[in-house]
Structure 1
Amino acid sequence: MSQPQLIIDNLKACWASCNELYGSLEGDQWQVPSHCPDWTVHGVLAHQVSVEQALSGWLPESAETPPPFGEVAGYVSTAMAMSGPELAGLAAEVWAARAAQLEALDPEVFDRASITPVGPGTYGRFMAIREFDHWMHERDCRTPLSMPTDNGGPAAEMALDEVHLSIGYIVGKKVGLADGDSMRFDITGAVERDISVLVDGRAREVDDVEHPTVTLHCDSMAFMDLACGRIDPEAPIAAGLVRWSGDAEIGAHAARNLRFTM
């Protein structure tokens, strides 16, 4: 499968799962606080659908073509005035239209230079970041609503990729691993992945480290929640979902300082 089609398929999977979630909510469930500070479940969906409304029909002409994010505030204002069921219906319509738009694109468009939320990149990378955003936001709502979900599969792998791409920054800047030290991430659970980082002037991913200074053993969803600043680190640490081996002091510090985005 081509990378553009994988991105489209994963976005469609996220939207289908979100449709199932939001279409099932009733009454006060819409006002439950999400894992995003100051946002209820209703507010999360308002954000999700408003960004896609702004991106509908937009394509970058170059890396200097900004996305029309100035339109998002107006869409959010309209969305917040809707009832939960009305907003869920709008989201289903917008996401179906976006899926059709993406499916109709020439695959080469995904290689087109584009500004993205993390700087210059490609339109494909921008859409992969959108997939990450929808995947996380669904769980921002399902978890406080006590609605379990499948945290594995291709969509989960793509969402984890966005954190993986920032692993050098996380280790070097957020954890602050010292020069000459190394760290291994042993990620297990719904998604499994081994990531090794060496600090040699700067923190960078390497294929393997034979004797890492510290190894973080993380459940994949706990790792995502911590990297995205969604939860208090003490909860997954106490539950054994995040633990460490090797240098105990560095491990304890690292487990509590993975956040690189919100």
Structure 2
Amino acid sequence: MDTNSPDVTTDAPAAEPAGQAPEEIRHLIQQWKRLDELLAGLKRDDWIAPTPLPGWTVRDVVAHVAGTEHMLAGETVPDIELPASAREYVLNPIAELNEKFVQEARPLAVEDAFEDFRDVVAERTEQLSEMSAADLEAETDSPVGRVPFRRFMGVRVFDCWIHEDDIRQAIGMQHHLGGDIGRFAVGEIVTALPRIVGKKAAAPDGSRVRFRVTGEAGTDLPLATDVVVDGRAALADVDDTAQPTVELVFDTPTFVRAATGRIVAEPGSGVEISGDEDLGRTILGSLAFTI
């Protein structure tokens, strides 16, 4: 840890589920370790840096991640009244739940907030290690509906992955969106593209929208996929013999941050449009899909 960082140990939780844990579990534990390593290197002032999320500093993002894991560990949501200022950005029940954990943690010293994150991650790691295959396949409520618990943990990978980027962006660090975790997590965005194109952007029947994300395989998330509207929108393999109605070419951080509502992407700033520019701009304005 940086010499100006809180005086806490830098030993990250090491336990992992034994045997062949599902990739969702393996990626989640690895993503917690990545967050731990990032937080261990922060200077004290970094913890109060504003993030792209309205009203939240770095320490608030950490409190949110920890709070969600506290809830999954079986703890109750804090019974507190939110301040009026939070109502400017708390717009739905899930956001209200998240904000209660954030508000509860605000009086904590930075050292204690970091320790709380580590403690709950260690607890959750142990819980996951004790779950049977049947436990992981049991259906549970989640932000994406009622799904197997394992699938819910995939959503947790995505959430922790994007919050790592929020922290990096807040303190001016290079993004770390690629790698195995990134390739797994970006699937949440890709899965949402048909709804974005067909429902939110209302692309007309017969449209073929091509998404390309550029970058180096080791650090970024190069990908290419089409969304074809034929009665309803659906993902399709890129067909280079088929002329797309519109093609959007992004760099990795622009694609991820626009899809998660951190920014509104503009042509010429991390994304280029070719083809039907009006449809392309409508899609860009509709890209955010997270709650």
TM bucket normalised to smaller: 0.7 to 0.9
Q: Show the counterpart of 2:149.
A: 123
Residue 88 of structure 1 and its aligned partner are, at CA, apart by 0.9
Change (3 A) 1:257 1:7: same
Q: What is the TM-score with the length of structure 2 in the denominator?
A: 0.78
Q: Show the counterpart of 1:106.
A: 132
Identity in percent? 33
Q: Aligned partners of 1:54, 1:166: CA distance in 2, in Å?
A: 26
Residue 214 of structure 1 and its aligned partner are, at CA, apart by 0.9
* 1:220 maps to 2:237: no
Gaps of 5+ in 1: 59-68
- Alignment counterpart, residue 228 of structure 2, candidates 168, 184, 198: 198
Q: Show the counterpart of 1:7.
A: 24
Where do 1:68-147 residues align within 5 Å?
75-147=101-173
Q: Aligned partners of 1:20, 1:170: CA distance in 2, in Å?
A: 34
- 2:210/2:244 contact within 8 Å kept: yes
* 1:211 maps to 2:228: no
- 1:175/1:257 contact within 8 Å kept: yes
Q: Aligned partners of 1:144, 1:187: CA distance in 2, in Å?
A: 23
- 2:175/2:253 contact within 8 Å kept: no
Gaps of 5+ in 2: 1-18, 76-94
Aligned AA (1:44): V
Residue 21 of structure 1 and its aligned partner are, at CA, apart by 1.9
1:167-196 deviation per Cα after TM superposition (whole angstroms, max 9, x unaligned): 111111222211111101112221122211
- 2:58/2:170 contact within 8 Å kept: no
- 1:57/1:101 contact within 8 Å kept: no
Secondary structure at 1:231's aligned position in 2?
A: coil
- 2:248/2:272 contact within 8 Å kept: yes
Change (3 A) 1:145 1:96: same
- 2:25/2:150 contact within 8 Å kept: no
- Alignment counterpart, residue 273 of structure 2, candidates 238, 244, 254: 244
Aligned AA (2:149): Y
Residue 70 of structure 1 and its aligned partner are, at CA, apart by 9.8
Q: What is the TM-score with the length of structure 1 in the denominator?
A: 0.86
1:48-102 deviation per Cα after TM superposition (whole angstroms, max 9, x unaligned): 10110110159xxxxxxxxxx9986664443221112211111012112211211
Secondary structure at 1:256's aligned position in 2?
A: helix
Change (3 A) 1:92 1:100: same
- 2:139/2:149 contact within 8 Å kept: yes
- 2:260/2:289 contact within 8 Å kept: yes
- 1:243/1:255 contact within 8 Å kept: no
* 1:53 maps to 2:70: yes
Where do 1:150-165 residues align within 5 Å?
150-165=176-191
Residue 135 of structure 1 and its aligned partner are, at CA, apart by 0.5
Count of aligned pairs: 248
Secondary structure at 1:203's aligned position in 2?
A: strand
Greater than 4 Å deviation, 4+ residue runs: 69-75
Secondary structure at 2:286's aligned position in 1?
A: coil
Is the deviation greater in 246-255 or in 215-224? 246-255
Change (3 A) 1:199 1:78: same
Aligned AA (1:175): A
Residue 164 of structure 1 and its aligned partner are, at CA, apart by 1.4
1:227-257 deviation per Cα after TM superposition (whole angstroms, max 9, x unaligned): 11101323xx433x21122223322332333
- Alignment counterpart, residue 33 of structure 2, candidates 6, 9, 16: 16
Aligned AA (1:12): I
Change (3 A) 1:74 1:226: closer
- Which one has the bigger helix percentage? 1
